[in-house]
Each structure stands twice: as structure tokens, then as C-alpha cells.
């Protein structure tokens, strides 16, 4: 787990190095390595809400990311391989945690595509309800709507380093 103790840090955050084209490994200085580990720990804590992330959680994050890359590649080169699959996280894991996936099985269920108005209901905010036919507008605005929870009046925005709300 990410902690302040050296033993657990070394297990999940091994010393970073890069393999250069000349065949040599270029190790980072200890201070750069420590800064990387601190930044990585902060990223998982602040962005993903993992104060103490385990190997299994890192693996699950990385597997979801690899699956997302595979879905996107398949979508753009061959067409949609699943209409219902989605990336289950808001942020991607550190790329240094995405390892050992050569033998990973990628199975997706094709399912049925969404209808155009269903797609619009999934991406438009309630403020844009007037872009839809009246029967769909009511789904976005009426308190008795079975999907009203998907259209909250108040919500947090994640600026993620941006300065203006409209950038987030």
C-alpha cells in the first residue's frame, strides 16, 4: 500500500529507470525518484481517492485502462465491439502501473446500439432539454421521471488544473 514506510513504497513504487537506446539504463537520482513517488501517491490519493492502494486495486485500474485502449482501437479500426461497455474510472492510472497485459483476454459483449434520442439523453444536460422532443424533455425535468437522478440540479465540477469552469 502507499504509505510513508519505505518497505511498502518499494513494493508498489520500485526505483524508476528508463532503458535508453544505447543499451544502458538511466536511473533517476534519488531526489527525482522520491518526487515521482510522492507525486504518484498524491495522484492516486487526490484524483482516485485511494489513500492506501493495494496491488489488486492497481491491477484493476490498469486492466480497465488496457481494456479502454483496446475498445477504442477496435472501435476506430473495426467498428463497435460493445455498445454497453464503458471505462469505469474518471482518471487513468499512471502508465508505469500498466504492465504485464500481453496475455489478457479481451472479451466484450456486442449488445444492441442505443437509439439516437437515448444517446442524447446520456450526454445532454437538463439545461439542453429543449433540443429533444417533448416526451424526452419530461424525462430530464419532471421530478417523477424514472431517470431524474441522472440530471442533478447541483453537481461538482472537476477542474483538474483548469482555471475556468467551462474548461472542465
Q: How confident is the model at residue 6 (pLDDT cuts 50, 70, 90)?
A: very low
pTM comes to 0.70
Q: Are 81 and 71 in contact (CB under 8 A)?
A: yes
C-alpha cell at position 168: 472542465
Question: Of residues 168 and 134, which shows the higher confidence score?
Answer: 134
Average pLDDT, the chain: 85
Ranges of each domain in the chain: 1-53, 54-113, 116-167
- pLDDT tens-place string over residues 39-96: 999 999 998 888 888 889 999 999 999 999 999 999 999 999 999 999 999 899 999 8
Give me the sign of the Cα torsion angle 97, 103, 109, 113. positive
Cα 140 to Cα 146: distance, rounded to the nearest angstrom: 9
Tell me the chain's radius of gyration from C-alpha atoms.
21
Cα 94 to Cα 121: distance, rounded to the nearest angstrom: 32
Amino acid at each position: 500500500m502507499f504509505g510513508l514506510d519505505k518497505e511498502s513504497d518499494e513494493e508498489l513504487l520500485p526505483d524508476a529507470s528508463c532503458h535508453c537506446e544505447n543499451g544502458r539504463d538511466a536511473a533517476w537520482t534519488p531526489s527525482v525518484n522520491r518526487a515521482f513517488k510522492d507525486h504518484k501517491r498524491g495522484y492516486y490519493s487526490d484524483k482516485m481517492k485511494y489513500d492506501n492502494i493495494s496491488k489488486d486495486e492497481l491491477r484493476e485500474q490498469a486492466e480497465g485502462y488496457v481494456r479502454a485502449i483496446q475498445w477504442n482501437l477496435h472501435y476506430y479500426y473495426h467498428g463497435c465491439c460493445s455498445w454497453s461497455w464503458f471505462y469505469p474510472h474518471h482518471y487513468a492510472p499512471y502508465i508505469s502501473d500498466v504492465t504485464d497485459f500481453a496475455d489478457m483476454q479481451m472479451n466484450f459483449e456486442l449488445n444492441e446500439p442505443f437509439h439516437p434520442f437515448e444517446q442524447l439523453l446520456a450526454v445532454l444536460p437538463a439545461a439542453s432539454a429543449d433540443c429533444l422532443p417533448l416526451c424526452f424533455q419530461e424525462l430530464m425535468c419532471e421530478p417523477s421521471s424514472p431517470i431524474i437522478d441522472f440530471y442533478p440540479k447541483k453537481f461538482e465540477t472537476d477542474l483538474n488544473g483548469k482555471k475556468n469552469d467551462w474548461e472542465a
